[in-house]
Amino acid sequence: MAGPIPSKANSKTPKLLSLVLVIILSSVSYTLGVWKRGGATTSASISSLGATIPCIFPRNTTNPKTHLSPTTSSVITPLDFTSHHSADDGGAITSPDETIKKYPPCSIKYSEYTPCEDPKTSLKFSRDRLIYRERHCPENNKLLKCMVPAPYGYKNPFKWPVSRDLVWYANVPHKELTVEKAVQNWIRYEDDRFRFPGGGTMFPHGADAYIDDIGKLINLKDGSIRTAIDTGCGVASWGAFLLSRNILPISFAPRDSHEAQVQFALERGVPALIGIMASKRLPYPSRAFDMAHCSRCLIPWGQYDGLYLIEVDRILRPGGYWILSGPPIRWRKYWKGWQRSREDLNAEQTQIENVTKSLCWKKLVEKDDLAIWQKPTNHLHCKKIRKSYTNLPLCPAKDPDKAWYTNLETCLTPLPDVSNNQEVAGGELEKWPRRLNAVPPRISLGTISGVTPETFTTRFKTMEEASIIL
């Protein structure tokens, strides 16, 4: 019952098939390896695969330094990661140096050039209300297209707090004030530097002693006053000494016959800018300052229907202070020295008093050379008070924070509504330094989607971040 005996031919068939399969797989593996290395395969090898394999040659085959002929596989092309075109140059290849515009240095005569405060340009504008001393920027075809140089011999400024008292002469080479203000002790020239004793027209004993006098009338130490603005600052000694008392000042004065006096302030390390109260708003939002100051700043506060005091009211916070020293304050003592009549000075002070009352300010004190007024914390009862003095209307619904190149108006910027006379309009501010991390009162959390007082600090890491987002 045994089965048939297999023949020798049948037993050799599986071995032959295995051998043919190994040869085919080896040929395919060899062909693929040669193709990946960039070499060419022979026609016989391609035919044995039963398919056509395209040849891939290296880029830039004409470069003799990095490539050989397309049929040579012994050289591998290095990878090229550089950009060969961009979206805006139409595919053109440009050198990095060609994209950098280089400006030549200006002549040394431009060392104090300030584009929008050029004296020659300003002469073309009206003298009325000193409009010609406002910012007047040049036309595009008159822009200076060179790098403004430092004055000859410029040195690195002294470090604060030494810079409060000393400035290199070469950095601000103007001696006029040392002569004209010599009696008032503003500034002295000593060898190669200026010294600032802290004197001023209305503080002959120095700015520090003058601020002490202010501190006896209002509290400068409890943190309720952090920001201050000095109008017509001169060399900004008042602001310089306020910095030592943890109060942050900003000072401004126009560019006049004494050049830009704020150059001295900036070299001293005191925040300052060239500016004037003429026809435009000051470049600050409403309710920005705790205190405003004028020491013989020569601003006609009572004129033009109180236009300039109205602007001070806009930038003062509810409950903020306005300080005035110099004419017409204490005119009964100084009127002869000021070379003005008693009648003229009395009329000027009466104008100022009437404007402040129309703004609902309260006069806190007039003592010696100082007079201090306080802005109300709200306008709840302001309408009744204002009717007794002048018909100063409330400003229409406009942005009170709009500042740059915005015309001044003879209307009262209304404060946010309150429910009772004890409430501070817009919310009461924390005292410094707690104010730094407190939620600003003017932010209404209900207007921010999904934000409540409890979740405010989880949404914003810092108040600076919140103010930017809001």
Pairwise pLDDT comparison (31 vs 305), residue with the higher score: 305
Q: Which of 23-37, 74-88, 189-203 has the highest mean pLDDT?
A: 189-203
pLDDT at 360: 93
**Contact of 277 with 308, CB cutoff 8 Å:** yes
Range from 148-157, 289-298, 394-403, 457-466 carrying the lowest mean pLDDT: 457-466
Give me 127's structure tokens: 């003298």
Contacts of 67 (CB under 8 A, 6+ apart): 58, 60, 61, 75, 77
Q: Of 21-25, 112-116, 357-361, which range is least confident?
A: 21-25
Query: How many beta carbons lie within 10 A of that of residue 441, not counting itself?
Result: 17
Taking CA atoms, 50 is separated from 32, 47, 113, in Å, by 14, 5, 81
Q: Can you name the residues that pair with 370 across neighbouring β-strands? A: 325, 367
**Per-residue pLDDT tens over the stretch 427-446:** 999 999 999 988 766 654 33
Fold of 162-435: Rossmann fold (3.40.50)
The per-residue pLDDT for 452 is: 45
For residue 227, pLDDT over 90 is answered with: yes
Compare 268 and 202 and report the one with higher pLDDT: 268
Task: Name the least confident of 12-26, 274-288, 454-468.
Answer: 454-468
Query: What mean pLDDT comes out for the span 262-275?
Result: 93
For the cut 50, the answer to whether the pLDDT of residue 60 exceeds it is: no
How much is the average pLDDT of 256-266?
Answer: 80
For the chain, what are the domain ranges? 20-75, 99-149, 162-435, 439-470
Please report the pLDDT score of residue 274 as a whole number.
Answer: 93
Q: Which pLDDT score, from 0 to 100, does residue 384 have?
A: 65
172 in the Ramachandran plot: left (φ > 0), alpha (ψ -120 to 50) or beta? beta
User: Residue 68 pLDDT > 50, yes or no?
Assistant: no
Tell whether the model's pLDDT for residue 469 goes beyond 90.
Answer: no
Whether the per-residue pLDDT at 92 is higher than 60: the answer is no
Q: What is the mean pLDDT of residues 85-107?
A: 67
Tell me which of 9-13, 108-112, 252-256, 413-417 is least confident: 9-13
Asked if residue 358 has pLDDT above 60, the reply is yes
Highest mean pLDDT: which range of 88-92, 114-118, 380-384:
114-118
Orientation angle between helical segments 307-315 and 342-358, nearest 10 degrees: 40
Closest by CA to 317, choosing from 288, 348, 356, 280, is 288
**What are the φ and ψ backbone dihedral angles of 103, each rounded to 5 degrees?**
-105, 135
d(CA 277, CA 252): 10
Average pLDDT, the chain: 80
Name the pTM for this structure.
Answer: 0.73
Which residue has tokens 């520090």? 208
Residue 198 pLDDT > 80, yes or no? yes
User: pLDDT band for position 234 (50/70/90)?
Assistant: confident
Taking residues 75-102, report their average pLDDT: 58
pLDDT score of 142: 87
Res 261: pLDDT: 84
Identify the CA nearest to 292 among candidates 321, 313, 254, 265. Answer: 321
pLDDT of residue 405: 92
Measured from the Cβ of residue 261, the count of other Cβ atoms closer than 10 Å reads 26
Closest by CA position to 146, among listed 117, 174, 109: 109
* Distance from C-alpha of 99 to C-alpha of 118, rounded to nearest angstrom: 32
Tell me the average pLDDT across 140-152: 91
Asked if the model's pLDDT at residue 51 lies above 70, the reply is no
CB-CB contact of 360 with 379 (8 Å)? yes
Peptide linkage before 70 cis (omega within 30 of 0): no
Residue 253's nearest CA partner among 235, 226, 280 is 235
The larger pLDDT score, comparing residue 354 to residue 260, is at 354
What's the confidence (pLDDT) of residue 86? Answer: 52
Chain centroid to CA 136: how far?
Answer: 20
Q: Which residues contact 80 (CB under 8 A, 6 or more apart)?
A: 59
How high is the pLDDT of residue 61?
Answer: 43
338-350 confidence digits (pLDDT tens):
889 999 999 999 9
Q: Give mean pLDDT, residues 187-208.
A: 89
Q: Quote the tokens at residue 427.
A: 């919310």
pLDDT tens, position by position, 28-45: 666 666 555 554 444 444
The CA-based angle 287-293-297, given to 5 degrees, is: 125
Any residues with CB less than 8 A from the CB of 346 and at least 6 apart, and which? 328, 331
